[in-house]
Amino acid sequence: MRRSLGSIAGIGELPAQRETQGATTLGMIAEVARRAVADAGLEPAAIDGLLVGPQVGETPQHVPATVAEYLGLMPRMANVVDLGGASGAGMVWRAAAAISAGMCEAVLCVLANTREAMQVRSPNRNPIREFDVPFGASGANATYAMIKQAHMAAYGSRDVDFARIAVAARANAQRNPDAIFCGQPATIADVLASPMIASPLRLFEIVMRVAGGGAVVVVSPERARSLPHAPVHLLGAGEKVTHRALSQAPSLTSGPLKSAMAHALATAGIGAAELDLLSLYDCYTVMVAATIEDLGLCPPGRFGDWIADRDLGPEGDTPLNTHGGQLGFGQPDLAGGMTHLTEAVRQLRGTTPGRQIPNAGLALVTGNGATMSEATALVLGADA
């Protein structure tokens, strides 16, 4: 028998229909997914990977999170496959690759749509449109403000604690000529005096949206050693999706990065104390606070004391977002998360004059989507 790259254990299918009046894309996805999971002899809780198409009538973005939320799944790997008529076949090998990489064990690959959604967008029947937006929880500023408020209510964290995160980002940005805030440092007083945008979030605690972009090229370790730069290796990865709508979040003080980071560190075989660089997604100061606590660097609610006791610069004891993070560099849309990755690669290559971490060998890179909903963590290592 030839070596198997993966096995298809269950299938589901809906009958062809000319009209689907009253149906929703999410409802059709749920039914065909139910059939496939049942055919595989599995319970829904066994599904820890999710691949979906880009066309879901009830949502224009955050498609995997919306589908996972609707199905009651919390996958450790989730993605969109957008290959037109090749999407179904493309999902299968990607699912097998994710299983081989240890990211997950059972992947649901699902495609469905109503006839009406192919012509006009279906009615918005998903939790964020029913339970969040009508009550004002619309947009990132308002929802992350609720997360900050929840943290302050639960633990007594103070505005000054969050301000220290913004100050550190601005300080590191002064060493990066490409950062939007290079030449514009900030003090704690500056942060606390900045305008209130969505209470309790102030202007300097929120990323500035900018133009920009980022890219990386991934090759085999063997080929990497024949190329010009010292290779940077992926040593571990973790992913988790828990919800899309804030009203459906399992917690407002801890997020899916807790699971993703734990898996990334475990697959890399290291502990958090061994990391030389924390390249943590920082759309808001509260996101950094939650990530520090979820990483286990301090107990829940104690990030303020932890930050106050550390030097977060490149020569400090705990380098954090040495390029300035998004709070100091700026957020070029989805490429904002890519800046954390490219900075980690530069540090591990040893090619960041003026902000180089001495003997950098291990870096943690995190990504965050929606409202502390979709999480990915990578452990990168310099070539030995």
Q: Where are the domains of the chain?
A: 25-125, 140-382
Alpha-carbon distance of 382 to 372, in angstroms, equals 29
pLDDT band at 122, cuts 50/70/90? very low
Instruction: State the pairing for strand pair 362-369/374-382.
Output: antiparallel
317-346 average pLDDT score: 93
Q: What pLDDT is attached to residue 213?
A: 87
Q: Which CATH number fits domain 140-382: 1.20.990.10, 3.40.50.1980, 3.40.47.10, 3.40.50.300?
A: 3.40.47.10
Domains 25-125 and 140-382 share a fold: yes
pLDDT tens track for 22-41: 788 889 899 999 999 999 99
Alpha-carbon distance of 329 to 209, in angstroms, equals 10
The answer to whether residue 121 scores a pLDDT higher than 60 is no
User: Residues 205, 41: contact at Cβ < 8 Å?
Assistant: no
Q: What pLDDT is attached to residue 120?
A: 45
Q: What pLDDT is attached to residue 124?
A: 54
227-253 average pLDDT score: 92
pLDDT tens track for 93-106: 899 899 999 999 99
Closest CA to 324 of 209, 185, 218: 185
304-322 average pLDDT score: 97
pTM above 0.75, yes or no: yes
The answer to whether residue 304 scores a pLDDT higher than 70 is yes
Alpha-carbon distance of 365 to 135, in angstroms, equals 34
Q: Which CATH number fits domain 25-125: 3.40.390.10, 3.40.47.10, 2.102.10.10, 3.40.50.2300?
A: 3.40.47.10
Q: What pLDDT is attached to residue 139?
A: 81
Burial category of 189 from C-beta neighbours within 10 Å (exposed 0-12, middle 13-18, buried 19 and up) = exposed
The answer to whether residue 117 scores a pLDDT higher than 70 is no
Q: What pLDDT is attached to residue 116?
A: 61
Any idea what DSSP says for residue 352? -
Percent of the chain with pLDDT over 70: 96
Q: What pLDDT is attached to residue 118?
A: 46
